[in-house]
Amino acid sequence: MSKLLQEVIGELSKLPGIGRRTALRLAIHLLRMEPESVADMTRSIDRFRQEVKYCSVCNNLSDEEICPICADPERDHSTICVVEQVADVLSIENTHQYKGLYHVLGGVISPMQGISPSDLKIDLLTERIARGGVKEVILAISTSVEGETTLFYLMNRLRPFEGLKITSIARGIGFGDELEYVDELTITHALRNRREIE
């Protein structure tokens, strides 16, 4: 078997969710692509890995020292939405509904995985709030056990800031979700937090 093929399969299958079979399929696909297209792709991967930075304000991925969202004077700098990861920022941005800023923790507290509060960008958040101007912090953390632990820890760190409004995104039945397939905890929560129809 071709050593070049074996090597590329080995390298591609290091990526998450890509087994040897998928890696082979990808490798074969590479051969159908123009060599220049493949070179564009690998160049883009290398540049991304080498040049992308973390925003010094919010810890989101950025090409500059400060990301475009934090640098945007049109956005509401008094509201910070705290999320676990970069992907969450993109999900919220895709709604085009949120005009405040973000803070990317970089994960959740997980003693099982050896992730302690000091591994997350929590100090960066409190320092940011301490500089003033922040009126509301929205916690958009997942409802896993680790998420709840992180939420609890964050609440303790944020409560000392007087006058700071701390909110959590609403939990409930998603649009398009069928009740039949929704877990009990979500249903319980959605029932407790029911709203009168106006």
Which residues of this protein are in contact with a copy of itself, per CB under 8 A?
1-5, 7-8, 10-12, 14-17, 22, 24-31, 33, 35, 37-52, 60-63, 67-68, 85-87, 89-90, 93
Q: Which is nearer to a copy of itself, 102 or 158 (by Cβ)? A: 102
The nearest distance, CB 59 to a copy of itself, in angstroms, is 12
Q: Which is nearer to a copy of itself, 52 or 187 (by Cβ)? A: 52
CA distance 184 to 187: 5
Q: Which is nearer to a copy of itself, 33 or 187 (by Cβ)? A: 33
Q: 53 Cβ partners below 8 Å, 6+ apart?
A: 61, 62, 63, 64, 65
The nearest distance, CB 195 to a copy of itself, in angstroms, is 31
Question: Contact, 133 vs 76, CB < 8 A?
Answer: no
3, β-bridge pairs: none
Distance of CA 133 to the CA centre of its chain: 24
The nearest distance, CB 17 to a copy of itself, in angstroms, is 7
Question: Contact, 54 vs 102, CB < 8 A?
Answer: no
The nearest distance, CB 133 to a copy of itself, in angstroms, is 24
